[in-house]
C-alpha cells in the first residue's frame, strides 16, 4: 500500500467521524469527555456526577484517569500538610533547648573559670550558634518551599532595599576590615518583597564578607533594564571556578577552596529560592578585573 492510499484512507476515516459528529452520534460523548477533563483541570471533578453505565469505553477510561488524578491530588495535599506540621514541630521543639544551651554557656563563662575551661565554653557557644543558624535556615527554607512563608512582591525602592541591607551588615564587614559601598545613587523601583529580598541580598553580602579579601571592598551597583532591575554585588576574595557556577546555589554546596571557612552552604540557596519565587533570578560570574559578581535580577 503506497503513501497516497494511506492518506486517502485516513482522510476517509476523519470524514466518517466528522459526519458522525455532525449527526450528533459522537458529539455527546466528546462533550462528556471535555466536561470531565475541564472539571479535572479545575479541581472540581466529582465521580458522583457520572454513572459508568451511561459512558462509552473511552469516556469510562477518561473518567478513571480523572478520578485517579483527584485521588493523587488529595494524597499530595495530605503529605504537604504533614510536612508543614513537622516543620512547625521541629521549630518549636528545638528553639527552647538551643536557647537554654546558649544561655547556660554565657552564665558558665562568667563564673571565673580557668582560661582552658573558658576556651571550651567559648567553643560550645560558637557551635551552639552555628547549630541554631543551621536549624533556623533549614526551617526557613522548608517553609518557603512549602508555601508556609508567603512572599508578597509589591513596587519598592531598590535604593531603600540596599541602604537598609548594607546598614545591617556594615558592622560585620568592619570586623573583617572590609567596607561595603553602594556605587549607584539614582533611585529606581522594582517589584519585590522588601523583607525577604533584603534577606536574599543580605545572604550574598554576608557571603562576600566571609570569603572576601581583608581590607577590600564589597561594591554594589544597580542597573535598570527594560523588564528587570539588575543588582550587581562584587567582591575580591576566594574565586569561584566556572565549573562551579551551576552548583553554587545548590543546598549545602561548598566550593573546594572555601571548605575551611565557616559556613553551611545554605545562604545562597535560600537567596535563589526567594528571588525566583518573585519571578526574578540570580547568576554568578566574574568582572573584567577578576572580581566575583553576583547579579540579582528583579522584575520592574
pLDDT tens for each residue of the chain, 300 residues long:
555 555 554 555 555 555 555 555 556 666 666 676 676 666 665 655 555 555 555 556 656 666 666 666 777 667 666 766 666 666 667 777 777 888 888 888 777 777 778 888 888 887 887 777 777 777 777 767 666 667 889 999 999 999 999 999 998 899 889 999 999 888 899 999 999 999 999 999 998 888 888 788 899 999 999 999 999 999 887 667 777 777 788 776 665 555 455 555 678 888 998 999 899 999 988 776 778 899 999 999
The two beta strands, 281-286 and 217-224, are: unpaired
In this prediction, residue 229 carries a pLDDT of: 95
In this prediction, residue 123 carries a pLDDT of: 84
In this prediction, residue 91 carries a pLDDT of: 65
DSSP summary character for residue 213: P
Residues 159 and 217: their CA atoms lie apart, in Å, by 19
The C-alpha cell that represents 241 in the structure block: 571556578
Residues 196 and 217: their CA atoms lie apart, in Å, by 24
Q: Which residues contact 266 (CB under 8 A, 6 or more apart)?
A: 134, 137, 138, 141, 251, 252
The C-alpha cell that represents 95 in the structure block: 528553639
DSSP summary character for residue 112: -
Neighbours of 228 (CB within 10 A): 18
User: Taking the CA of residue 194 as centre, how many other CA atoms within 13 Å lie in the half-sphere pointing to its CB?
Assistant: 11
Mind listing the domains of the chain with CATH numbers? 1-149 (no CATH), 154-299 (3.30.565.10)
In this prediction, residue 32 carries a pLDDT of: 67
| Cross-strand pairs, 257 | none
Amino acid at each position: 500500500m503506497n503513501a497516497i492510499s494511506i492518506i486517502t484512507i485516513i482522510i476517509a476515516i476523519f470524514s466518517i467521524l466528522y459526519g458522525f459528529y455532525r449527526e450528533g452520534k459522537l458529539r455527546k460523548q466528546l462533550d462528556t469527555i471535555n466536561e470531565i477533563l475541564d472539571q479535572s483541570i479545575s479541581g472540581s471533578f466529582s465521580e458522583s456526577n457520572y454513572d459508568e453505565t451511561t459512558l462509552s469505553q473511552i469516556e469510562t477510561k477518561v473518567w478513571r484517569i480523572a478520578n485517579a488524578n483527584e485521588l493523587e491530588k488529595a494524597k499530595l495535599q495530605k503529605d504537604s500538610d504533614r510536612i508543614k506540621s513537622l516543620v512547625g514541630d521541629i521549630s518549636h521543639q528545638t528553639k527552647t533547648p538551643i536557647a537554654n544551651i546558649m544561655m547556660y554557656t554565657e552564665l558558665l563563662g562568667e563564673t571565673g573559670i580557668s582560661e582552658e575551661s573558658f576556651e571550651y565554653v567559648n567553643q560550645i557557644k560558637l557551635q551552639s550558634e552555628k547549630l541554631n543558624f543551621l536549624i533556623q535556615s533549614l526551617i526557613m527554607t522548608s517553609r518557603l518551599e512549602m508555601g508556609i512563608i508567603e512572599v508578597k512582591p509589591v513596587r519598592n525602592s531598590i535604593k531603600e532595599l540596599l541602604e537598609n541591607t548594607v546598614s545591617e551588615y556594615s558592622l560585620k564587614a568592619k570586623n573583617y576590615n572590609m567596607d561595603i559601598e553602594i556605587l549607584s545613587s539614582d533611585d529606581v523601583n522594582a517589584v519585590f518583597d522588601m523583607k525577604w529580598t533584603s534577606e536574599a541580598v543580605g545572604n550574598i553580602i554576608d557571603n562576600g564578607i566571609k570569603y572576601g579579601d581583608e581590607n577590600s571592598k564589597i561594591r554594589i551597583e544597580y542597573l535598570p533594564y527594560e523588564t528587570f532591575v539588575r543588582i550587581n554585588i562584587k567582591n575580591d576574595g576566594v574565586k569561584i571556578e566556572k565549573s562551579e557556577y551551576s552548583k553554587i546555589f545548590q543546598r549545602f554546596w561548598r566550593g573546594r577552596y572555601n571548605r575551611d571557612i565557616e559556613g553551611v552552604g545554605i545562604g545562597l540557596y535560600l537567596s535563589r529560592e526567594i528571588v525566583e519565587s518573585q519571578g526574578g533570578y540570580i547568576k554568578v560570574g566574574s568582572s573584567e578585573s577578576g572580581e566575583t559578581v553576583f547579579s540579582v535580577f528583579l522584575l520592574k
